[in-house]
Amino acid sequence: MGREFAADAATPPRWWWWMFILALAIVLVSMPHFTDDSLQLDLSITFVLALLALSMSFLWGYVGILSFGQTIFFGLGGYSYAILALNAGTTLWPFAAAIFLPMIFAAVLGYFIIYGRISDVYLSVISLVVTLIFEKSIRSTSGPEYVIGKVRLNGQNGIPGVPGLQLPWDSSMQLSIDGVFYLAGGTALLLYVCLRLLLLTSFGRIIVGIRENETRMELLGYDSRVYKLVAFVLAAGIAALSGALYAVWGNFVAPEMFNLNQAAQVVIWVIVGGRSTLIGPVVATGLVQYFSNWLGTVSIGQVTLVLGLVLLVFVLAFPRGLLPTIAMVLGKAVSRTGNGNPRS
């Protein structure tokens, strides 16, 4: 079982993994029949943010690029959908454009960073600076002159009234709460499976090889810049999808989608869950979201401070991440049981 959480995920999924995915799908389909709207909304936003965590997990854990810029594409996805949908009066093609436009920006940004041979440390710094630029720029658009088409940007107040996603077969109807739940949960599950299988392809093996030793892969004839750029754009597309779904879920976008708290939180999800696995950050997203909401309900004033201290202790106790540590402990327990004395 522990090999399933290996850093390169080189082994094909075993039968129990497929059974696990099937069980998750069954639970996902049946949950709206046994839960109320409030719980569905909470789970939906967890699934949406889990996509953002998946983008960071893939980029950092398997490509080796620590980028604080995933919230750039998250925010661009949300704002692109809001502006295009409100101007067009329809939602299907704006939703698709909200994914591809941030990917184009990622291709341009990634080209200059990656082909410029900027070191990983400076890449993280540059992505952080670009995040700050976007947040400050959006917050400074409060005046009535900041209009795109017929949509006012409203600065730090954000854009309200973002339309829900229309049904493909009936444009007069929008997704219900159940529909958003199915869309967010199904997308998160599907992308997790797709990324897991992608790592088994030649592309996946190459990017993991580049993460391990970029010089060696280039000596073998691979242009690491091409593979890193493609992975960077792919991760940006996943983050943009998360942002578009966030706008659909809340019918609202705001500059907080770009801010440093959000950028740092994504990194925390990956660290807590374990960056050597894809499912770990998804689980960590749910745990951190639940814990944050619980702290708010018990009237703790400094939620951020308490959460930071708890996470610090958590990271020190599980340096490899939660799921890899659990898998390692279970693997040792199984090994000891298998090698134990039958007479005992």
- Mapping DSSP onto H, E and C, the string for the chain reads CHHHHCCCCCCCCCHHHHHHHHHHHHHHHHHHHCCCHHHHHHHHHHHHHHHHHHHHHHHHHHCCCCCCCHHHHHHHHHHHHHHHHHHHCCCHHHHHHHHHHHHHHHHHHHHHHHCCCCCHHHHHHHHHHHHHHHHHHHHCCCCCCCEECCEECCHHHCEECCCCCEECCEEEEECCHHHHHHHHHHHHHHHHHHHHHHCCCHHHHHHHHHHHCHHHHHHCCCCHHHHHHHHHHHHHHHHHHHHHHHHHHHCEECHHHCCHHHHHHHHHHHHHHCCCCCHHHHHHHHHHHHHHHHHHHCCCCCHHHHHHHHHHHHHHHCCCCHHHHHHHHHHHHHHHHHHCCCCC
Task: Tell me the CA distances in angstroms from 229 to 57, 113, 223, one per residue in order.
Answer: 16, 9, 10
Give the list of residues 6+ apart from residue 101 with CB closer than 8 angstroms, or none.
76, 80, 240
Give the pLDDT score at 154: 92
* Residue/partner pairs of 221-226 with CB below 8 Å, 24 or more apart: 225/114, 225/115
Give the pLDDT score at 303: 66
On whether the CB atoms of residues 278 and 54 are closer than 8 A, the answer is yes
Give the pLDDT score at 119: 78
User: Rounded to an integer, what distance in angstroms lies between the CA atom of residue 279 and that of residue 283?
Assistant: 6
User: Rounded to an integer, what distance in angstroms lies between the CA atom of residue 59 and that of residue 122?
Assistant: 16
Give the pLDDT score at 340: 54
Question: Residue 38: what residue type?
Answer: S
Give the pLDDT score at 338: 62
Task: Tell me the CA distances in angstroms from 272 to 238, 266, 268, 278, one per residue in order.
Answer: 20, 10, 6, 12
Tally of CB atoms within 10 A around 341: 5
Tokens read off for 24 = 């998750």
Give the pLDDT score at 122: 84
Per-residue pLDDT of the chain (344 residues; tens, 9 = 90+): 444 444 445 678 888 889 999 999 999 999 988 888 888 999 999 999 999 999 999 999 999 998 888 999 999 999 999 999 999 989 999 999 999 999 999 999 999 999 887 877 888 889 989 999 999 999 999 888 899 999 999 999 999 999 999 888 777 788 999 999 999 999 999 999 999 999 999 999 999 999 999 999 999 999 999 999 999 999 999 999 999 999 999 999 999 999 888 888 898 888 888 887 898 889 989 888 887 777 767 666 666 677 777 777 777 777 777 777 777 777 777 777 766 544 43
On whether the CB atoms of residues 72 and 131 are closer than 8 A, the answer is yes
In the chain, domain spans: 8-257
CA atoms 327, 191, 23, 286: torsion sign: positive
0.75 surpassed by pTM: yes
Given the structure tokens 């994504």, which residue do they identify? 266
